[in-house]
Amino acid sequence: MGFEQFEIQLIASVVAAACAIPGVFLVLRSMAMMSDAISHAILLGIVLAFFVIPDISSPLLIIGAALSGVLTVSLVELLNKTRLVKEDASIGLVFPVLFSIGVILIARYAWNVHLDVHAVLLGELAFAPFDRLIIFGNDIGPKSLYVMGTILIINLFFISLFYKEIKIATFDAGLAAALGFSPGLIHYGLMSLVSVTAVGAFDAVGSILVVALMIAPPAAAYLLTDNLTKMILISVVLGVISSISGFWLAIFLDANIAGAMATMAGVLFVLVFLFAPDRGIIAIARRRSHQRWEFAGKMLAIHLLNHEGTQDEERESQIQHLEENLRWKESFARRVVHYSANNGFLLVNDDRLVLTTRGREYAKESIVDN
């Protein structure tokens, strides 16, 4: 069992890396839904190709499936062009139709083949090590490892060869077109990569994990870096971590492996979403609260400065009067005073607030800034 466990984790890691690469561009193009659409619609392609070549292991099935992925993309574009429906709606309209035709065809004509809907959604990763690639009588490893390894290499090859073109077409399609890099061609190229990856991966891990691995790691990586190359690398790493930790979660819970991996991809995303150093919501909340205190401190300093040396200074600089003058609740006023005193902007003398030199300067600067 030990070696099979290793093989399953290896296959899943390769799938994760292969999915993360095109996934980055789906996320950057706000096309996450497209991975869902493609990974479902390919079922129809597989079924149709199967009618032509009734051999479940034929590589032509992959081509049929990839073509139906590209067909999905073109149908979505066609619907978009009518401007009668929004992009996400067109995606939602197209793929359920294609997917359900695939399901109906399987149910009616191909029920006796190894194509069942449950396997399509969740895959049978546990069985992947049993389907071996035999060359000249030698067992050289699980077949899906080779399929996904090839797809990973294809993805790496295209993304590094056309890195600059994909980058400009994603960031500024108008300039890309003006400079002669057809954004349409690049779009279809990318969608073909997504289709081929989804096709290769779904036999092993099912379409739910394909979607999870294409979207969750890049969405998390997006929150962690400002650099495109790093975003791709981090996505790959997060995808691999999701796969391996998901595998052990599945063993621990005795659950479906692909389901547990998808869960871990989601969990990792949530962790990043919460704790990312700059863009996580905790960091954002902390920044907001800091800004709130800073702003209140400025208001207080300016207020005190305005009344310095006037006859109502006595009254205006009392903590009790902040409630009336600045409309602050007393507890809030006390905390602002505390914050300002800690920063050396003012001194508290028997409930009277006195600006320090530093506080006076701070108030003056704040007025100029605004």
Partner 1 sequence: MHLDKVGSLNKGDLDMSENAIEVEDLTVAYQEKPVLWDIDLTVPEGVLMAIVGPNGAGKTTLIKAILNLVKTAAGQIKIYGKTSSDQKRLVGYVPQRGSVDWDFPTSVKDVVMMGRYGALGWIRRPGKEEQKMALSALDKVGMLQYAERQISQLSGGQQQRVFLARALVQDAQVYLMDEPFQGVDATTERAIVSLLQELRKSGKTVVVVHHDLQTVPEYFDWTALLNVRLIASGPVQEVFTEENLRLTYGGRVSFLKHNGENGVSNIGQRTG
- Specify the DSSP element, H or E, that contains 328: none
- Asked if 185 is part of the footprint of partner 1 (rule: CB under 8 A), the reply reads no
Backbone dihedral angles phi then psi of residue 29, each to the nearest 5 degrees: -95, 10
* Separation of alpha carbons 102 and 48, rounded Å: 8
Residue at 260: amino acid letter: A
User: Which residue stretch of 127-135, 164-172, 285-293, 294-302 sits at the interface with partner 1 (rule: CB under 8 A)?
Assistant: 164-172
* Separation of alpha carbons 337 and 340, rounded Å: 5
Among 28, 48, 233, 241, binds partner 1 (CB under 8 A): 28
- Asked if 180 is part of the footprint of partner 1 (rule: CB under 8 A), the reply reads yes
* Separation of alpha carbons 365 and 136, rounded Å: 80
* Separation of alpha carbons 221 and 231, rounded Å: 5
- Asked if 2 is part of the footprint of partner 1 (rule: CB under 8 A), the reply reads no
Strands 352-355 and 346-349: antiparallel
- Asked if 368 is part of the footprint of partner 1 (rule: CB under 8 A), the reply reads no
Among 167, 307, 321, 352, binds partner 1 (CB under 8 A): 167
Q: How far is the CB of 39 from partner 1 (least distance, A)?
A: 25
Q: How far is the CB of 352 from partner 1 (least distance, A)?
A: 41
Among 77, 88, 131, 165, binds partner 1 (CB under 8 A): 165
* Site size with partner 1, rule: CB under 8 A: 27
Q: How far is the CB of 83 from partner 1 (least distance, A)?
A: 7
- Asked if 155 is part of the footprint of partner 1 (rule: CB under 8 A), the reply reads no
CB contact set of 319 (below 8 Å; sequence gap of 6+): 333, 334, 337, 348, 351, 352, 353
Backbone dihedral angles phi then psi of residue 346, each to the nearest 5 degrees: -150, 165
Among 56, 113, 161, 274, binds partner 1 (CB under 8 A): 161
Q: How far is the CB of 169 from partner 1 (least distance, A)?
A: 10
Cβ 346 vs Cβ 363: under 8 Å: no
Cβ 42 vs Cβ 202: under 8 Å: yes
With H, G, I as helix, E, B as strand and everything else as coil, classify residue 308: coil
Q: How far is the CB of 184 from partner 1 (least distance, A)?
A: 11
Among 101, 154, 177, 341, binds partner 1 (CB under 8 A): 177
Among 111, 112, 136, 174, binds partner 1 (CB under 8 A): 174
Q: How far is the CB of 159 from partner 1 (least distance, A)?
A: 13
Chain residues binding partner 1 by CB under 8 A are 28, 83, 161-165, 167-168, 170-172, 174-181, 222, 225-228, 230-231
